[in-house]
Amino acid sequence: MNIIIKYINSFKTAPKLRRVSMILLLGGLLLMPITSLIVMHGITSFETIIGSVKVPNQYVSLNIDIEDPDSMSVIIAYSIYNPSAFPVSNLQLNVEVRVNFIDKYILSNTTLPIFSDHAVLPDCNPLQFTDEFYTGFYSCFLIENLITFNDNYDSMAPVLFFMDLSFSGEYLFSFITFNIIHFNLDLTAL
């Protein structure tokens, strides 16, 4: 208590510039615990956010009807829960789908990329549960590879579809970035 009284007395007798410095110092000292609490809330909430991200979220659809290109699509459900006071922003999804098949002309196992896209997704605002769908259309398909697959695959051998996903975003005013990556998701097993 004596320290505070000495500080107040020295404040009264200090020149004007020193008073301003003292006020700024005192204000900074008072704001430090509040800032620490806000940052700690953000960090502890981040664990919940990362644990809640589901990509894909139980639903993936791959439609590759070469005869009807307008109906071709890749649809992926995703969800994220944000229990904090800060938005999860700059959400992005990178998707690549590959087909693995036996080429009937060269009698070997062949893998071709047939779809590739990068999408910017809507932010997940504070205290919000986002349950959305990403949809990629005809323009994201690699048509030349699809035609090669369609012309060369052995209809008596298994055909497998695999997907690579990268889901990224930023949190706590972009101080924390995250990237969730899935390689070789077997679409025939989903």
Q: What is the pLDDT of residues 123-165, one digit of tens each?
A: 999 999 999 999 999 999 999 999 999 999 999 999 999 999 9
Q: Please list, in sequence order, all residues whose beta carbon lies within 8 angstroms of the beta carbon of residue 172, skipping any fewer than 6 positions away.
A: 39, 42, 43, 46, 86
**43-75 confidence digits (pLDDT tens):** 777 788 888 899 998 899 999 988 888 899 999
Whether residue 114 sits in one domain with residue 31: no
Whether residue 133 sits in one domain with residue 67: yes
Whether residue 75 sits in one domain with residue 40: no
Q: Residue 136 belongs to a domain with what CATH number?
A: 2.60.40
Q: Which domain holds residue 6?
A: 2-48
65 CB neighbour count, 10 Å cutoff? 10
Whether residue 70 sits in one domain with residue 28: no
Asked if residue 142 lies in contact with residue 190, where contact means CB atoms within 8 angstroms, the answer is: no
- Give the separation between CA 94 and CA 117, rounded to whole angstroms: 6
Whether residue 97 sits in one domain with residue 8: no
Compute CA 64 distance to the chain's CA centroid, rounded to the nearest angstrom.
26
Give the helix ranges, DSSP H, for 53-87: none
pLDDT computed for residue 132 by the predictor:
94
Interior angle at CA 61, CA 59 and CA 63, nearest 5: 175
Whether residue 18 sits in one domain with residue 66: no
Amino acid found at 98? R
Mean pLDDT is highest, among 19-23, 24-28, 160-164, for 160-164
19, pLDDT greater than 70: no
What is the per-residue burial (b if ≥16 Cβ within 10 Å, else e) of 148-187? bbeeebeeeeeeebbbbbbbebbbbeeebeeeeeeeebeb
Asked if residue 113 lies in contact with residue 94, where contact means CB atoms within 8 angstroms, the answer is: no
31, pLDDT greater than 90: no
Listed residues 48, 63, 82: the one ending a domain: 48
The model's pTM is 0.77
Whether residue 154 sits in one domain with residue 126: yes
pLDDT computed for residue 65 by the predictor:
87
What single-letter DSSP state applies at residue 124? B
